């Protein structure tokens, strides 16, 4: 049985939970790369956040900058997209005080930020990512990346299912 690797984004905030309400601590992150899930790697992950002890638990607030691997929605080229992750989250303590589905501090005082950063980084990616504003996409026939050059496909050929519509359009143009 293999032991699950511990996240490098797992922090011990037990000392903060033992302190007075309102006590806060600034945490600076500067990782060249960090994996926040099997499918998401952030490179680099830099920034700062503040952890504050509140009556409900720990409140984390800050801003982190990173890049994430994505694909262009037109040509499917891989690229690194810069994203800003804004932390503004409450981690309830004790766990029994957390509403269902909310973040909580573990009984040992640890918080693993990897799942939260994975979620926030994916949400920061726009719906349509383009490798460049004038991306030509791919040929719908052969899959050639049209940014790299034209393909040899016949552009005049029409889908046989649409031939009747083309005949109607041609007739309309002639009249």
Q: Per residue in 48-75, pLDDT tens?
A: 999 999 999 999 999 999 999 999 999 9
Using a CB cutoff of 8 Å and minimum separation of 24, what contacts does 111-114 make? 111/10, 111/11, 111/13, 111/58, 111/60, 112/7, 112/9, 112/10, 112/11, 113/7, 113/9, 113/10, 113/11, 113/60, 114/7, 114/9, 114/10, 114/34, 114/35, 114/36, 114/37
- Check residue 5 and give its pLDDT: 61
- Give burial (CB, 10 Å; 0-12/13-18/19+) of 64: buried
- Check residue 170 and give its pLDDT: 82
Average pLDDT of the residues in 34-42: 93
Model confidence, pTM: 0.81
Furthest CA-CA distance within the chain: 85
Contact 27, 50 (CB under 8 A): yes
Residue 15 CB: number of other CB atoms within 10 A?
11
Mean pLDDT, all residues of the chain: 91
Residue with tokens 């952030």: 42
pLDDT digits (tens, 9 = 90+) for 67-116: 999 999 999 999 999 999 999 999 999 988 999 999 999 999 999 999 99
pLDDT at 131 over 80: yes
- Check residue 1 and give its pLDDT: 38
Q: Which of 3, 7, 10 is nearest to 34 (CA)?
A: 7
Higher pLDDT, 154 or 127: 127
């Amino acid at each position: 049985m293999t032991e699950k690797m511990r996240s490098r984004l797992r922090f011990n905030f037990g000392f903060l939970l033992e302190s007075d309400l309102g006590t806060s601590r600034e945490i600076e992150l500067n990782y060249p790369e960090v994996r926040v899930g099997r499918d998401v790697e952030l490179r680099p992950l830099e920034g700062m956040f503040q952890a504050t002890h509140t009556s409900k638990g720990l409140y984390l607030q800050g801003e982190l900058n990173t890049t994430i691997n994505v694909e262009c929605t037109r040509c499917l080229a891989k690229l690194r997209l810069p994203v800003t992750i804004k932390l503004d989250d409450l981690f309830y303590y004790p766990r029994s005080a957390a509403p269902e589905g909310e973040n909580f501090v573990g009984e040992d005082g640890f918080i693993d930020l990897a799942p939260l950063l994975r979620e926030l980084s994916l949400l920061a990616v726009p719906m349509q990512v383009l490798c460049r504003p004038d991306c030509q996409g791919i040929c719908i026939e052969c899959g050639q990346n049209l940014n790299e050059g034209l393909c040899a496909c016949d552009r005049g050929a029409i889908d046989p299912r649409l031939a009747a519509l083309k005949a109607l359009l041609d007739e309309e143009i002639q009249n």
